[in-house]
């Protein structure tokens, strides 16, 4: 492991921790502008985290150690997921130990712990949210795996760094399979991050909420960690999409100058992606929770079609 690789890895983690709340604030601003409302401040997520970290944590009477430890586990899983995805450089010490399958596993571990913690205190809303979260995850994870496998067929590897190097540093080519995979990934990303049309992150209606029902019993620093983890999850999915479908601008190994130029390129791509996400949410309507399986089944079908198209058209 070289010093530049260790620096790239540390820089990716620090950048994810700092930019994840900012990405959420940017999306909220665009949603407000597109809906002709007064937009919250761009730094509002940081103020919310600061307020929550300075508040006392109130725990339920029968809360177990699982309830107390789940926010730390979920936050750690999301931070590690952001560290695996090559956002700035492909010279990452963690990349040989974790590929696309391990990334999906990390997201699954976080989902299991937050669902168990929601059911731990025995409230009806927590159990309701946990059941809905596991339903979404049960359908979204296979679709996400198929999307990653579609990209891995091009590079003959499930390593994210190898996929990025293959797609970004070769002659320009059109891959029809990636078009299907891109639509499927967008649908999975909306469902996994509790965005419209699957869920509405700005509501607390008991008949429709999924993510909010999981964290109703948390407060103080525990709630701050879960909110931060949710923003890290959105950041990780955004970076996965950029790595698979817009990998240009990511630095190669042993390229300090390219690493410096990769930072503004990443910020620009995230800004464009956040604005497009806000536009998509503004143009969409919240669907019924019973339609979510059909939505994610369509994503799975599109991802599988992408794999079949690549197998049929490859030379």
The predicted pLDDT at position 207 comes to 67
Angstrom distance (rounded) from CA 157 to CA 166: 10
Residue 24: band (very low, low, confident or very high) from pLDDT cuts 50, 70, 90: very high
The pTM of the full predicted model, rounded to 2 decimals, is 0.94
Using the predicted structure, report yes or no on whether residue 288 has a pLDDT greater than 90.
Answer: no
Query: Above pLDDT 90, what percent of the chain?
Result: 58
Mean pLDDT of 247-267: 82
The predicted pLDDT at position 171 comes to 64
Three-state SS at 199: coil
Residue carrying structure tokens 């899983």: 77
The predicted pLDDT at position 201 comes to 76
H helix or E strand, kind and range, residue 109 = helix 100-120
The predicted pLDDT at position 170 comes to 66
Q: Cβ(213)–Cβ(52) under 8 Å?
A: no
**CB-CB neighbours of 124 under 10 Å:** 9
H helix or E strand, kind and range, residue 32 = helix 3-34
H helix or E strand, kind and range, residue 36 = none
The predicted pLDDT at position 122 comes to 85
All structural domains of the chain with their residue ranges? 3-313
Q: Cβ(307)–Cβ(218) under 8 Å?
A: no
Using the predicted structure, report yes or no on whether residue 314 has a pLDDT greater than 80.
Answer: no
Sequential DSSP letters for the chain: --HHHHHHHHHHHHHHHHHHHHHHHHHHHHHHHHTT-PPPPTTHHHHHHHHHHTSPP---TT--HHHHHHHHHHHHHHHHHHHHS-SSBS--TTGGG--HHHHHHHHHHHHHHHHHHHHHT--HHHHHHHHHHHHHHHHHHHHHHHHHHHHHHHHT---HHHHHHHHHSS-----HHHHHHHHHHHHHHHHHTT-TTT--TT---TTT-SHHHHTTT--HHHHHHHHHHHHHHHHHHHHHHHHHH--TTPBPTT-HHHHHHHHHHHHHHHHHHHHHHHHHHHH--PPPGGGHHHHHHHHHHHHHHHHHHHHHH--
Residue 221: band (very low, low, confident or very high) from pLDDT cuts 50, 70, 90: very high
Angstrom distance (rounded) from CA 9 to CA 90: 9
Mean pLDDT of 146-152: 93
Angstrom distance (rounded) from CA 297 to CA 306: 14
């Amino acid at each position: 492991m070289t010093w530049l690789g260790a620096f790239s890895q540390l820089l990716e983690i620090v950048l994810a921790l700092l930019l994840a709340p900012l990405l959420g604030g940017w999306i909220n601003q665009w949603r407000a502008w597109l809906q002709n409302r007064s937009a919250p401040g761009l730094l509002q997520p940081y103020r919310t985290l600061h307020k929550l970290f300075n508040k006392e944590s109130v725990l339920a009477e029968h809360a177990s150690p699982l309830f107390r430890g789940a926010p730390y586990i979920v936050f750690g899983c999301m931070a590690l997921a952001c560290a695996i995805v090559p956002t700035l450089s492909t010279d990452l010490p963690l990349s040989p130990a974790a590929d696309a399958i391990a990334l999906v596993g990390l997201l699954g571990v976080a989902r299991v712990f937050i669902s168990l913690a929601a059911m731990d205190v025995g409230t009806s809303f927590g159990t309701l949210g946990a059941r809905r979260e596991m339903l979404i995850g049960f359908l979204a994870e296979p679709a996400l795996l198929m999307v990653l496998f579609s990209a891995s067929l091009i590079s003959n590897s499930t390593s994210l760094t190898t996929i990025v190097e293959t797609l970004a540093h070769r002659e320009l080519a059109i891959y029809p399979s990636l078009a299907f995979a891109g639509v499927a990934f967008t649908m999975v990303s909306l469902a996994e991050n509790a965005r419209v049309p699957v869920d509405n992150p700005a509501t607390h209606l008991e008949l429709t909420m999924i993510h909010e029902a999981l964290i109703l019993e948390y407060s103080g620093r525990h709630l701050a960690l879960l909110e931060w983890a949710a923003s890290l999850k959105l950041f990780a999915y955004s970076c996965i999409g950029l790595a698979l479908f817009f990998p240009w601008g990511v630095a190669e190994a042993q390229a300090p100058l390219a690493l410096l130029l990769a930072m503004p390129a990443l910020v620009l791509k995230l800004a464009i992606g956040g604005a497009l996400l806000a536009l998509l949410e503004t143009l969409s309507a919240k669907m019924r929770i019973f339609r979510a399986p059909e939505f994610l089944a369509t994503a799975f079908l599109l991802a599988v079609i992408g794999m079949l198209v690549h197998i049929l058209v490859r030379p």
